[in-house]
Structure 1
Amino acid sequence: MNILQALFFPPEQPGGVSSMVPYIQERFNKLGWPMELFSLPRRVRGKGQEPVAFETFDITNYEGNPIVDKYLQTYRDYVWWTKLRIKKSYDIIHAHHPISALVMKQLYPDTPLVMTIHSSFERELILNGKIIEGGMEHRFLTAIYGELEAKADRILTPSESFRSYLKPYVKDADRIQIIPNGFDEKRFKPISHENAVVQLITVCRLVPAKGLDVLLHACAELKARGHNFVLHIIGDGPSRQELEQLAIELNLYDDIIFYGYMLHPEEFMPFFDVFVLPSRAEAFGSVFAEAALCWLALIGTNVGGIAEQIDDGVNGLLVEPENPTALCNALEKVVSDQDYRYNMARAAWNKAKKVYSLQRVIAQLKQVYTEIQPEPEAAE
């Protein structure tokens, strides 16, 4: 069975799709199921010219809006690039972005399409202050879910919370199958160590949706309570300058290291003690599972897929979003008690190995693929 994994941009960024799909490809190829990756290079801009039309809603009602027009032009570019580069057929196409899914179904209507919806672009835009809830851009982007439901042979998503999020935008959310993300354990090498000062780490794109402003305020309160720590921030994004300025204003700059973008942060994480990320929304939050596999104590917000990964007080701590004091209290628990921190990290590692193994994902995907495209021997 020849399978194409259709991504959006190349898998360069840490987290999410990039932390999983290339390793899925490697495993399937070893099993004798040929699998290839396809994506749109970032340099391709403004090439596509074909008109775009959807089955379930009229896109002309949204044209003229800058965000919608940019989305549609990216769709055209994906069509142009796909026609230019793909010269063979596949038994199954598994897409990981709405644009790649809809383009593939447009160009290869007879090929079964699996679509994994990993996250909510519109929610991220709202939290980052780019669009307003209920506005034209929000209505357009949520209408895409209904188009995906009409076109895809199978829709997958990584968490129960995100399937619930999709319910208002599709006809039958119960048909959406949950396959939590999985990770290749060989990438993660926990290291036994003792740091004289507790080392906190967060890994994310530096945007408002990740709540790092809340983290900095919590750290300022933690410092005021007399606790020593170092906060390591791995990632880059439009909020970096604002966050660095906030660190200065909160008298935290000497306690924080901004690293910028890093390709393989999992190689770095095992040397630290606590992973913390107070996201305002998260469909799954792959980086929590990655941090758990690095044997770190986890602190996250009670939102989305984070709350499905962390059993509060057992393998991590959950706090409500937008609450620096609650986050500070959680940090204080793990910073001040080494045994508590160690036991929680061990529990996080145990759960991640059991629940978020890549082998489990491979088995579930094999079942999905064979259900929608049985191999000849199985059909007979």
Structure 2
Amino acid sequence: MKILQALFFPPEQPGGVSSMVPPIAERFRNLGFEVELFSLPKRIRNKGQDEIVFETFDWKQFAGNAMVDKYIQTYKDYLWWVKLRLSSQNFDLIHSHHPIAALAMKQVFEDTPILMTVHSSYEKELILNGKIAEGGPEHLFLTAIYRELEHQMDQLLTVSNTFAQYMGTFLEQPERIEVIPNGYDERRFKPIAHENETTQLVSVCRLVPAKGLDILLKACAELRRRNCNFVLHLIGDGPSREELEQLSQQLGIYDDTIFYGYMLHPEEMIPFFDVFVLPSRAESFGSVFAEAALCMLALVGTDVGGISEQIQDGVNGRLVPADHPIALADALETVISDPHYRYELARAGWNKAVSTYSLNRVIGQLKRIYSSYGNVPVEE
């Protein structure tokens, strides 16, 4: 069975979907499948000229909007690249991991079954990061894409029940969505026994408003007022970095906070910390929580999206409301002040991550779906 995994970003792009799909492809190759990866190189800009037509709505009502126009041009570029590189090939199945990739593939491979995994909500991220207005033309355009995907794709998948419910509000048949949570090769994550005299907090994310790091800094300032000892490590970069550094200075915790910037393989460093904390304002799944759990860190997150499906408060981590620095400070204080409690949370989190978010589980679920569209290789 020949399968194409269609990404948006190149597979060498660290983090997110682009880092999760290659291990899946490798596992399927080991099972006898023929698997190729495909993505749009970053250097390709303004090459596509084809007319874009959606079957469920007229995108031209939003034309002239900079974000919409850029989205459509990227769609044209992806379509141009697909025609240039793949039009002479045949596949038994295409599994796409980005809406643009999925829709472009369907134009070229009309008779090939195409699955689409929706990994995140681009419109939510843009709203939370102050890039677009809720209910504005960009928001309406991006949410209309869900209905187009439902119309064009043979199967829609997503990564959490919460996100399936959100996406379903834009679909005619939301019951057709199948949920397959992300999976990870636990061999990549190696917990390390260590004793830190001062509790080491860590967060790994892009530095944007949607991740709620302003709330984390305010919570840490509250911890400092309570005489809780900690060091906060922020791994990642983004447009909010300068603002966050200034906020940490204003709050008097700059000396307690380390800004690392971008790091290629943070999982090599994470096991040396004690607590993973990320007060996101929205997450479709929250992959970094599963990864931190596999590194045996105690988890502290917000009760939003896929985070609330990963963490059961007080059992394998702590959950707090979004945008609530005092509640976050309270939760952090409980894990800072009681190392035994922190260890029990970390152990429970590791157990759940290994059993629920294993790569083997994902392979099994995908193999079942793939087999419904063609003959799968016989295992020896």
**Interval containing the TM-score (normalised by the shorter chain):** over 0.9
1:84 maps to 2:60: no
Please give the alpha-carbon distance, in whole angstroms, between the structure 2 residues aligned to 1:336 and 1:12.
40
What one-letter code is carried by the residue in structure 2 that aligns with 1:184? D
Q: CA offsets per residue over residues 275-332 of structure 1, 9 Å max, x none?
A: 0000000000011000000000000000000000001100000000000000000000
What one-letter code is carried by the residue in structure 2 that aligns with 1:165? Y
Please give the alpha-carbon distance, in whole angstroms, between the structure 2 residues aligned to 1:197 and 1:375.
53
What one-letter code is carried by the residue in structure 2 that aligns with 1:203? V
Please give the alpha-carbon distance, in whole angstroms, between the structure 1 residues aligned to 2:218 and 2:68.
35
Please state how far the C-alpha of 1:9 moved relative to its aligned partner: 1.0
Please give the alpha-carbon distance, in whole angstroms, between the structure 1 residues aligned to 2:364 and 2:323.
38
**Could you tell me whether the CA contact under 8 Å between 1:15 and 1:287 is conserved in 2?**
no
2:56 alignment partner in structure 1: 56
Please state how far the C-alpha of 1:375 moved relative to its aligned partner: 4.7
**Could you tell me whether the CA contact under 8 Å between 1:206 and 1:237 is conserved in 2?**
yes
Q: CA offsets per residue over residues 330-373 of structure 1, 9 Å max, x none?
A: 00000110000000000000000000000000010001111123
Structure 1 stretch displaced more, 219-228 or 14-23: 14-23
1:371 alignment partner in structure 2: 372
Q: 1:136 to 1:143 in 2, by over 3 A?
A: same
Please give the alpha-carbon distance, in whole angstroms, between the structure 2 residues aligned to 1:375 and 1:158.
24
Please state how far the C-alpha of 1:168 moved relative to its aligned partner: 1.6
Q: How many residues align?
A: 377
What one-letter code is carried by the residue in structure 2 that aligns with 1:276? V
Q: CA offsets per residue over residues 42-62 of structure 1, 9 Å max, x none?
A: 111111111110111111111
1:328 maps to 2:329: yes
Please state how far the C-alpha of 1:82 moved relative to its aligned partner: 1.3
Q: CA RMSD in A?
A: 1.2
Map 1:266-281 to 2 at 5 A: 266-281=267-282
Please give the alpha-carbon distance, in whole angstroms, between the structure 2 residues aligned to 1:13 and 1:276.
24
What one-letter code is carried by the residue in structure 2 that aligns with 1:370? S
What one-letter code is carried by the residue in structure 2 that aligns with 1:16? G
Please give the alpha-carbon distance, in whole angstroms, between the structure 2 residues aligned to 1:169 and 1:374.
33
Please give the alpha-carbon distance, in whole angstroms, between the structure 2 residues aligned to 1:18 and 1:107.
23
1:134 alignment partner in structure 2: 135
Please state how far the C-alpha of 1:263 moved relative to its aligned partner: 1.6
**Could you tell me whether the CA contact under 8 Å between 1:16 and 1:285 is conserved in 2?**
no
**Could you tell me whether the CA contact under 8 Å between 2:96 and 2:114 is conserved in 1?**
yes
Please state how far the C-alpha of 1:13 moved relative to its aligned partner: 4.5
Please give the alpha-carbon distance, in whole angstroms, between the structure 2 residues aligned to 1:354 and 1:375.
26
Please state how far the C-alpha of 1:21 moved relative to its aligned partner: 0.7
Please give the alpha-carbon distance, in whole angstroms, between the structure 1 residues aligned to 2:237 and 2:302.
21
Please give the alpha-carbon distance, in whole angstroms, between the structure 2 residues aligned to 1:15 and 1:213.
22
What one-letter code is carried by the residue in structure 1 that aligns with 2:97? H
Map 1:7-156 to 2 at 5 A: 7-86=7-86, 87-156=88-157
Please give the alpha-carbon distance, in whole angstroms, between the structure 1 residues aligned to 2:18 and 2:77.
21
What one-letter code is carried by the residue in structure 2 that aligns with 1:71? Y
SS of equivalent to 2:300: strand
Please state how far the C-alpha of 1:12 moved relative to its aligned partner: 4.2
SS of equivalent to 2:353: helix
Map 1:173-252 to 2 at 5 A: 173-252=174-253
What one-letter code is carried by the residue in structure 2 that aligns with 1:286? S
**Could you tell me whether the CA contact under 8 Å between 1:16 and 1:118 is conserved in 2?**
no
What one-letter code is carried by the residue in structure 2 that aligns with 1:307? S
**Could you tell me whether the CA contact under 8 Å between 1:221 and 1:325 is conserved in 2?**
yes
Q: CA offsets per residue over residues 173-216 of structure 1, 9 Å max, x none?
A: 11000000000011000001011111100001111000000000
Q: Structure 1 length normalisation: TM-score? A: 0.97
SS of equivalent to 2:169: helix
SS of equivalent to 1:280: coil
Q: CA offsets per residue over residues 68-110 of structure 1, 9 Å max, x none?
A: 0000000001011112222421111100000000000011111
Unaligned 5+ runs, structure 2: none
What one-letter code is carried by the residue in structure 2 that aligns with 1:282? E
Please give the alpha-carbon distance, in whole angstroms, between the structure 2 residues aligned to 1:54 and 1:73.
14
Q: Structure 2 length normalisation: TM-score? A: 0.97
Please give the alpha-carbon distance, in whole angstroms, between the structure 1 residues aligned to 2:258 and 2:236.
11
